[in-house]
Structure 1
Amino acid sequence: MNAAASVPAARAPVSHALAAVALALLLGLQPVSTDVMLPALPLLARELAAPMSAVQLTMAALILAFGIAQLVWGPVADRVGRRPVLLAGLALYTAASAGAALAADVGTLVAWRALQGVALAAAVVVARAMLRDLYEPHEGARVMALALSGLGLIAIASPTLGGWVAGAAGWRATLAVVGLAGAATLAFVVLRLPETIVQKNPQATAPGPLLAAWAGIARHRVFVAWALLTSCTYGGLFTILAGSSFVYMDRFGLGAGHYGLAMATGSLAYLGGTVVCRRWILRHGLSRSVRRAALFTLAGGLGTAAAALAGVESVWAYLLPQWLFCFGHGIHQPCGQAGAVGPFPRSAGAASALAGFVLAFTAFCIGQWLGVVLGADVRPYALTVAFWAAATTLVAWTLVRRLPEVPHR
C-alpha cells in the first residue's frame, strides 16, 4: 500500500466565522421545520378536519424520524465524510418539504413530515460532528454559542414569518417557505463548506464496532450528563413549541400573526442566553455556566405552572416565564451539545447521533402526551413545562456538577 495513503488528509481551513454560519444554518433548519409551522397548526386542523392527535403527529413524526435517522447518518458521516451526507440530506429535505406542501390529507402530510425528519437528521448530526472535527470541547462550546446566536435570529424570524405567511396564504405556504430554507442551505454547503473530517473511519458502519462504540458512549458519564441535560431542556422547549399555539390562539384568542410575534420574543430571550453563554463559558466554564442557567429554567417552569394553577387569564402570565425558560435554554444547549461529543474525537458522528436520538425520542413522547391532554384546560401544558424545567435543573445541579471542569483559559 502507498505510504501516503495511510496519512490522514489535511483539513481545509475553516474560520470561526464560517464554522458559526454553517452551524447556524444547519442547526437552524430544526426551528425552521417546527417554528414556521406553529402558527399554521390550528389552520391545518380546521382545513383537513384533523383531530388534535393527528395534528400533533405532524410534529411528533418529524421528531421521531429525526431521532432514529441520526443513528444511521452519524456513523455514515464518520465513514464517508461530512459533505456527502449533508448534500444527500439537504436535497432530500427540500424534496420532502415540497411533498408536504402538496399533501391532500393529514396522513400523507404526516408521512412527508417523517421523511423531512429523516433528512433533517443529516444536517443536525453532521453539524455537531463538524464541531468536534474542528475544536476541542471548550473552544467548541464558544463557537457553538456564537452559532446558536445566529440560530436564535432564525428562531426569532421563523414563527413571525410563519404567522404572516399562514395568515396571508394558508398552511401550505408555510411548508413552501421551509423548502426554500432547505434549498438555500444546500446551496451554501455546495459553494462554501469544505470537508471537515481529517480521517474517515472505514469501520464506522460495521455492526460489531458500531454497537461497541455506542455501548461505550452510552456508558460514559460525561456523555450521559450532557445528553440528559440537552434532552430535558429541549423537552421543555418542545412542549412550548408543540402546545403554545393552542394555548395562545385557542384559549387567549391571538391571531396567527400575533402568536408568531409572541413566539419570536421567546426566541429573542433564547438569543440573549446564547450571548451570555459565550461570556459565562470564558469566566466560569461549562459546568458552572449551566448550573447558573438552571435558575432561569426553573423560574420559567415554576412560573408557568403557578399561572395555570392560579387560573390567571393573561397571555403575559405565560409569556414572561417562557422568556426565562428560553433564556436558560440558550445556555444549556451550546454547553450540552459540545460537551456530549467532547470525549469522542474518533466517533463524533456516532456520539452526536446517540445524543440526538435521546433528545428526539424525548420530544416524540412529549408530542404523544400533548396530543392526549391538550384542550381547554391549560394546566396539562403548564405542568409539562414545569416538569421538564425541574428535570433540567436536577441534571445540571447533580450529574453535570460532578463532572471535572474543562479548563476555560
Structure 2
Amino acid sequence: MSTNSHVWTYSLPAALLLMAPFDILASLAMDIYLPVVPAMPGILKTTPAVVQLTLSLYMIVLGLGQLIFGPISDRVGRRPVLIGGAMLFAAASFGLATTSTATVFVVLRLLQAAGASAALVALFATVRDVYADRPEGVTIYSMFSSMLAFVPALGPIAGAIIADRFGWRMIFMTLGVLGLLSLLNALLRWHETRPASAAPLQARFGPIMRSPEFWCYTLGFSAAMGTFFVFFSTAPRVLVAKARYSELEFSFAFATAALVMIVTARFAKVFVANWGIGGSLLRGMLTLLVGSLCLTLGQVAGSPGLLTFVVPMWVMAIGIVFTVSVTANGALRCFDDTAGSAVALYFCVQSLIVGIVGTLAIVALRGDTAWPLIAYSSSTALLTLVALGLLSRRDAS
C-alpha cells in the first residue's frame, strides 16, 4: 500500500468521477473518429493506407509510451505524469482540429496517443497504489471495463452526429475540451500516491519479462483487444464502403457489439468466481474461436452485413469480456512493488502486438473483408491456448 494513500480519501463514486475520464478519453480518441475514417483520405488528400496509420500508430504509441512513462511514474510520481499527459492530449486534440495536412495530422495523432499513454499508466498505477489491498479495487476494475464498453457503443454515434452537424474538425475540438476539463479537475484533486520506496530502474523489467504468467495473460489480453481493434479498423470499410451503410447506420450497427460487451460485463464477477482466472481466459479464447468460425461461414456464404459480419462479432465480444476481466490480475498479480513498470509493460506488449500484427493482417488480407479479423482472432486465440496449457502443465508438475 502506498505510504501516501492516506491522502486518497475520496468515496468510491468521487474517485471514479476523478479517474474514469482519463480511461474513457484514451479509447474515445479512437472510436469517435471512426465514422469519418472513409472520408479522411479525400479530406487530407492522401491514401487509405495513411489514414489507417492514424489508427494503427495511435495504438502502438499508446503502448510504447507507457514503457517510458511507467518507470517515470515510479521515479517522479503519478500526478506529474498524469498532468503532463493530459496537457499533451488536449493540445494535440486542438491541433488536429485545425490541420488539413496529412503529415501534420499523423504527427499530432502520435502526440495525442503519447498524452493518452502517460495518463493511462499514471491512472492504473494509482489504482494499484491505493486499492490493491482494498475490496473497492475489484469494483473499480469492473466499472472501468463497463465504462469502456460504453465508449465504442456511443463514441461512433457521437462522432457521426458531430461530423454531420458541425464537420469533422469538431470531433477533435470536442476531445480537446473534454481533455482540458479532465485536466482542470485533476489539478485540483489528484493527490500523489507513489510508494516511498522504489526498486532500482534496472531491476524493474527483468522479473516481469521472465514471468510465464505475465506473457500468457498479456497474450490473451492482446488477442481480445486486437480482435476489437481489427473489427473497428475494418468495419467502416466493410459496412460503409462495401455494404453501403450510412455513417449513422454504421455507428448503430457498431454499437451493438459494444452493447453485448456491456451486458456480459454485468456478470463478470459471477463467471470469474465460478471459473477462476485461468478458466475465464480459457473460455474467452474458445469463444473467440467460435466467433471466428461464424465469421468465416458468413464471409464465404454471403455478402457483408449485419448477419454475416456484425452478429459473429457479438459472439467474439462475449469472449473479449471473459478475457479482459481477468488478464490484468493474471499478468500483474506478482508485481505490486513495481506497479507502474508492470502496468506499462503489460499495455506496451499488448499495444505492439495489436498495432503491428493487427495492421499487417488488415494490409495483407484486404481490409474491406472479414478475413483480417478471422486471421487475427483465431491465430492469437490458439497461441494463447497453447501458452495457457504450458502454464497449467508447469503448475501441475
Task: Give TM-score scaled by structure 2 length.
Answer: 0.90
Q: Deviations over 1:76-98 (max 9, x none)?
A: 11112211111110011000111
Confirm or deny: 8 A CA contact 2:92 2:109 kept in the other structure. yes
Within 5 Å, give how 1:90-239 maps onto structure 2: 90-136=86-132, 140-201=137-198, 209-239=200-230
Q: Distance in 1 between matches of 2:246 and 2:125?
A: 40
Give the Cα separation in 2 of the matches to 1:271 and 1:361: 26
Measured against aligned partners, the alpha-carbon deviations of 1:170-191 in whole angstroms (never above 9, x if no partner) come to 3222222222232232233234
- The alignment status of 1:255 with 2:246, answered yes or no, reads yes
- What CA deviation, in whole Å up to 9, does each residue of 1:141-191 have, x standing for no partner? 453122211222233211110121223333222222222232232233234
Q: Deviations over 1:334-379 (max 9, x none)?
A: 3112332221111110011111111111122145325634658514
Corresponding position: 1:274 with 2:261:
no
Which residue of structure 1 aligns with residue 312 of structure 2? 321
Cα gap change, 1:112 to 1:72, in 2 (>3 Å):
same
Classify 1:380/1:396 alpha carbon distance in 2 versus 1 (closer, same or farther; 3 Å). Answer: same
Q: 1:120-142 CA distances to partner (integer Å, 9 max, x unpaired)?
A: 11122122222321334895445
Residue type of the alignment partner of 2:6: R
Equivalent-residue separation in structure 1 for 2:69 and 2:318 (angstroms): 30
Quote the Cα distance in structure 1 between the aligned partners of 2:245 and 2:258.
Answer: 18
Superposed CA RMSD: 2.6
Contact 1:226-1:336 within 8 A present in 2 as well = yes
1:75 corresponds to which residue?
71
Q: C-alpha separation between the residues in 1 aligned to 2:228 and 2:126? A: 25
Instruction: State how far apart, in whole Å, the 1-side matches of 2:127 and 2:330 are.
Output: 11
2 CA distance for matches of 1:258 and 1:336?
Answer: 33
Alpha-carbon separation, structure 2, partners of 1:84 and 1:389: 36
User: Which segments of 5 or more consecutive residues in structure 1 lack a partner in the other structure?
Assistant: 1-6
Moved more, 188-197 or 86-95: 188-197
Shift of 1:60: 1.6
Q: Secondary structure at the match of 1:177?
A: helix
Structure 1 residues 318, 399: closer, same or farther in 2, change over 3 A?
farther
CA pair 371-396 structure 1, distance change in 2 beyond 3 A:
closer
Which one is further off, 295-304 or 47-56?
295-304
Confirm or deny: 8 A CA contact 1:95 1:179 kept in the other structure. yes
Deviations 1:251-271 (A, max 9, x none): 101111111111211111121
Q: How many residues align?
A: 393
Distance 2:215 2:209 in 1: 7
1:341 aligns with 2:332: yes
Aligned to 1:4: none
Residue in 2 that maps onto 1:43: 39
DSSP 3-state at the match of 2:337? coil
Contact 1:155 1:264 in 2 (8 A): yes
**Alignment partner of 1:384 is 2:375:** yes
Closer/same/farther in 2, CA of residues 276 and 403 from structure 1, 3 Å limit: farther
* Residues 86, 183 of structure 2: 8 Å contact kept: yes
The answer to whether the aligner puts 1:11 opposite 2:6 as a matched pair is yes
* Mapped partners of 1:297, 1:177: distance in 2: 34
Q: CA deviation at 1:401?
A: 4.9
92-101 vs 19-28, greater mean Cα deviation: 19-28
Whole-angstrom CA distance in 2 between matches of 1:389 and 1:255: 32
When residues 151 and 188 of structure 1 are mapped into structure 2, their CA distance, relative to the original with a 3 A threshold, is farther
Q: What percent of counterpart residues are identical?
A: 28
Residue type of the alignment partner of 1:163: A
Shift of the alpha carbon at 1:73? 0.7
For residue 267 of structure 2, give the secondary structure of its aligned residue in structure 1.
helix
Larger mean CA deviation between 337-346 and 261-270 belongs to: 337-346
1:324–1:402 CA distance, 2 compared to 1 (3 A): farther
Unaligned runs of 5+ in 2: none
Q: Please give the per-residue CA displacement for 1:262-289, whole angstroms capped at 9, x wherever unaligned.
A: 1211111121232221222233332222
3-state DSSP of counterpart to 1:398:
helix
Paired with 1:300 and 1:61, the residues of 2 have a C-alpha distance of: 27
Contact 2:288 2:377 in 1 (8 A): no
- Structure 1 counterpart of 2:378, one-letter code: F
Tell me if the contact between 2:220 and 2:381 (Cα under 8 Å) persists in the aligned partners: no
2: CA distance between counterparts of 1:125 and 1:395? Answer: 29
Q: Secondary structure at the match of 1:253?
A: coil
* Equivalent residues of 1:144, 1:338 under 8 A apart: no
1:23 Cα offset (Å) = 4.7
